[in-house]
Structure 1
Amino acid sequence: MKDQMAEKDNLEKEEILKDQTTATEHVEQASMEQDQETDDQKLVKENQELKEKYLRLYSEFDNYRRRTAKERLELIKTASEDVLKDLITVVDDFERAFKAEESKGHEANDQEGNRLIYQKLVKIMESKGLKPMNDLHGKPFDAETQEAITQIPAPTEDLKGKVVDVVEKGYTLGDKVVRYAKVVIGA
């Protein structure tokens, strides 16, 4: 009977060991599954972070590309600005010469050649985008495009605060003012 009891105890011990082994295996398997879940969560989180970084980098590059394209267009538009500014003084000299010749009463034949050269120069400058500010007489003073040299008493009441005389023409290149018009304002 002792053998049977010992055998029974051994069987019970083996069953307890099996149960403990099975429980340990379940705990290890659960732990592995939990580790795998946390690894999956880490990968998902890392994937999201990489996507966000990619989107930020892509948008920064797109902004850079747009900005440089805009700057390039601006540069192309205004590349000839310095040359045109220098040529404006030549146009001014032509206009002064015409006024001086008219006051002296020179013949029209003498002025014709100069006028042709002047017109050709003006057309070339206009083809490059340079435009004179015309018809400023009687218009309200605009500090964004005009420079007031002086104020004089207005000849009429309706010319107060408006342009009475243009001393030097203003010019624009596209939307940009290349030279401000120098004007006299009525007070």
Structure 2
Amino acid sequence: MVEQGTPHEARSTQADDLNAAAAEVSNVETVAAEAAETLTDASQNLDDISADEVVVEGSPEVESASVAEDLYIEAKKQVEEWQGKYMRLHAEWDTYRRRTNEQREIEKARATEKLVTDLLPVIDDFERTIGYATDNGETGLLDGVKAVHAKFVSVLQKDGVEIIDPVGQPFDSLEAQAVATVPDSQEYDETVHEVYQKGYKMGTKVLRPAMVTVTTGGPKREKTPDEGSESTK
């Protein structure tokens, strides 16, 4: 069975290949410059040969002009070939660099998401402590815990974390999980009645859905034009 390399080894191999390609690009530039210089010299040689100097076919002057023209054509061909190789290598390098940057951003986002997810229970403990201090009149404790909690949440929000606290809003199964229903004939059906545990998200990714109760038995909420058009598809 053929052993497969780790992702790190694969990236390392790819990086080595691209470094080799970059070195070849440098060589290409050198060779292209030399070819261009040869081309210029050949062109000058052709320009230096006047019509008066070309006397007889097969004479040294004519042969010299023919050699110079051949050099010119060959040098021009080499320059075009090396320019093509250089452009291809440059495009490959840009693609590799872009993919590497994108992968780095993805890995950074995953690491941040994991860290935030691991910290959510700590926020829950803060909020439970705030609830306890509020219910029992522990003013000194309440003020201190509130300050730490607010600072902690503020740090997370600076990294793009958003709180999901949908009390009074239509129930959204993508951001909340209903743990119970509450009969309420006065409220629209499937409205979030209470949030037992707040949810959190980063961008469009939900790190943890909110735990909520939703109303039932009330009037149906009118669908928006967009929702109505989707239901008829």
TM-score (norm 1): 0.59
The partner residue of 2:182 within 132, 148, 152 is 152
Unaligned runs of 5+ in 1: 1-50
Q: Within 1, Cα distance between the matches of 2:128 and 2:198?
A: 12
Q: Does 1:78 align with 2:110?
A: yes
Aligned length: 131
Q: Within 1, Cα distance between the matches of 2:207 and 2:122?
A: 15
**Could you list the per-position Cα deviations for residues 76-97 of structure 1 after superposition, in whole angstroms to 9, with x for gaps in the alignment?**
2232212211211111111111
Unaligned runs of 5+ in 2: 1-83, 217-233
Matched to 1:128, the amino acid is D
Q: Within 2, Cα distance between the matches of 1:170 and 1:118?
A: 16
**Percent of paired sites with the same residue:** 32
Q: CA deviation at 1:62?
A: 7.3
Q: Within 2, Cα distance between the matches of 1:147 and 1:132?
A: 15
The partner residue of 1:183 within 209, 212, 217 is 212
Alpha-carbon spacing, 1:123–1:64, altered in 2? closer, same or farther (3 Å): same
Decide whether the 8 Å contact of 2:129 with 2:145 is kept in 1: no
SS in 1 for 2:168: coil
Decide whether the 8 Å contact of 1:166 with 1:183 is kept in 2: yes
Matched to 2:133, the amino acid is E
Alpha-carbon spacing, 1:63–1:119, altered in 2? closer, same or farther (3 Å): same
Aligned partner of 1:90 in structure 2 is 122
Q: Matches of residues 1-187 of structure 1 in structure 2 within 5 Å?
A: 67-106=99-138, 108-134=139-165, 136-154=166-184, 156-158=186-188, 160-187=189-216
Matched to 1:144, the amino acid is L
RMSD of the TM alignment (CA)? 2.6
Q: CA deviation at 1:110?
A: 2.8
Q: Within 1, Cα distance between the matches of 2:140 and 2:102?
A: 49
Q: Within 1, Cα distance between the matches of 2:157 and 2:192?
A: 25
Q: Within 1, Cα distance between the matches of 2:183 and 2:91?
A: 58
From the CA coordinates, give the structure whose radius of gyration is larger.
1
Q: CA deviation at 1:60?
A: 9.0
Q: Within 1, Cα distance between the matches of 2:103 and 2:180?
A: 37
Q: Within 2, Cα distance between the matches of 1:64 and 1:154?
A: 58
Q: Within 1, Cα distance between the matches of 2:120 and 2:146?
A: 16
Alpha-carbon spacing, 1:64–1:152, altered in 2? closer, same or farther (3 Å): farther
Matched to 1:173, the amino acid is M
TM-score (norm 2): 0.49
Q: CA deviation at 1:128?
A: 2.0
Q: CA deviation at 1:109?
A: 2.5
Matched to 1:175, the amino acid is T
Does 109-118 or 162-171 show the bigger shift? 109-118
Q: CA deviation at 1:103?
A: 1.0
Q: Within 1, Cα distance between the matches of 2:198 and 2:191?
A: 16
